[in-house]
Structure 1
Amino acid sequence: MAVWAVGDIQGCYRSFRELLTKISFDPTKDKLWLAGDLVNRGEGSLETLEYLYSIKESVEIVLGNHDITLIAAYYGIKKSNPSIDPILTSLHVKKLIDWLREQKFLHVDYQLGYCMAHAGISPEFDLGMAIRYARRAEEKLQNDHAEVWLKKMFKSGIDRFNRESSKTDIDRYIVSAFTRMRFCYKDHRLDFNQKGAPTQALREKGLKPWFESENRKDIHMKIIFGHWSTLGFYEDEHVLALDTGCLWGGQLTAARIDKDEIEVVSVECEKNDESEVERSTSPDALQI
């Protein structure tokens, strides 16, 4: 059995299937870990969800900001767009959305020594806190009042963790950190405006990637994340970043994580109409 982690698909279905062919993925014996943002902007969002649903026993998924926005569009909280319209008008939309609501914000595998969240794990969270807060958000998204809760998540943003905050504000921080985080300040306050790659100029302004932040709580596992196409593939002893910008004409990347040494495989993707400038300046789907 092989275990492959894959970066943001964002509806690039043909590239996704090409990647699965290249790694000889067999859903009867192999496992896929998907780092979120399964849909939106790409032309094959419906096909991506339908395929993943058909092999759902062979996948581990964490939700990304675009996946959350799709669920919100289903409830009428957010506007649809041409790339997700086919999902929302599908005869199977309720089945697909209900299945998506069952997915995680954080996946942990103690045996492999990896955990996975779409944007990463807040510097404020140790592993126990991350697990607890991820489950808290998952339970809210899965219960009968998910629509009411999700509507609150799309209000004003929360960039700092405070246990004394209201339950709603804590939930907003949890969802923001797991799905939208990239940079943070020295005091661990999150910045949701910067979308580009880390630079010395940003570091001089006090902005570092969350995984480089000072006094970050220890996570004794390697963290797999996506969400950051301008960062691209990145690996150190603590993290493995897999969003290599397929949607933007980059690559779609998979990493085999069940061996002592990571094996990385990528496929080239078709160039999207949106430019590099738009990639680094366009707002995230989930505006919390």
Structure 2
Amino acid sequence: MKAAPFSYVRPTRLGDVVAELVRADEDGGGKVIAGGQSLVPVLAMRLGRPATLVDITQVDELKQVGVVDGHLRVGAAVRQRRVERDHRGAVPLLSQALPWIGHREIRSRGTVCGSLAHADPSAELPAVARCLGATLDVAGPQGRRQISAEEFFSGAMTTTLGPTEVVTSVRMPLPREGEGFGFAEIARRHGDFALAGVAVRVRSRGGAVEEAAVATFGVSDRPRRRDLREELQGAVDRAGHDPDALARELGDAVAAMAEDVVTTGGDSHASPAYRRRLVRALGTRELARAYRSSLGRTAR
């Protein structure tokens, strides 16, 4: 299929982007486009029919990426491949997740903020943002505001972003001393949508677990985040630092989490029960690995 007819504008200033979205909202609705790797297929299948596409790729303010106040700030027009290539390791969990997104050609066009704004339940970056406690910067006719990743995702391909607002950047915290990370997903083939996946962040001090966050994706209508600090500490107390023994001790706790977070119905690729088993297997392994990594990590 082909997209329904639409108008196309490409402003060069953020204020003009907002003005175009306000104008489009009065005339059938508008959509922001940057990389287009998520939006264009939606348009082609006519699942969305915006009257206007507002291209933000010529707004210099949105092309910036760098470290600001202890965070990696990624502008809305920054390609995933640029972050993967030029800022490798700045945010370890982000660096672990980026190679799993589609294929290199997709990442060369797709943007980090575009994936977040699209809010696909099977996407990797929303789960990374939830796990890290990222903050999204937003601009609209009422000015600028910040939205936490916890509040941003409200459902499948649905966010709390207003129809005349645009994400300008996302801020992800740099790693702190004693933090370790884990990421894993299962798909039928590399580049396919994930059947299930986990993003993990653990912080420890002197072997004691201070935080253990697990965010899941591909198993519900949005990324889900759970705190397993007490469960991980109990496993460490029983099994010590051996990753295999830790994974075994964590099995029941992660299985209980999987029962809670897996809410998607079955499909031709995987049943809910299979997705729960995947979450348990991936979650126990990555929690153990993240804990081991946290023991030897020092702040930059």
Q: Same fold (TM over 0.5)?
A: no
Structure number having the greater helix percentage: 2
**TM-score, normalised by the number of residues in structure 2:** 0.25
Structure number having the greater strand percentage: 2
Between Structure 1 and Structure 2, whose CA radius of gyration is higher? 2
Higher RCO, 1 vs 2 (CA within 8 Å, ≥6 residues apart): 1
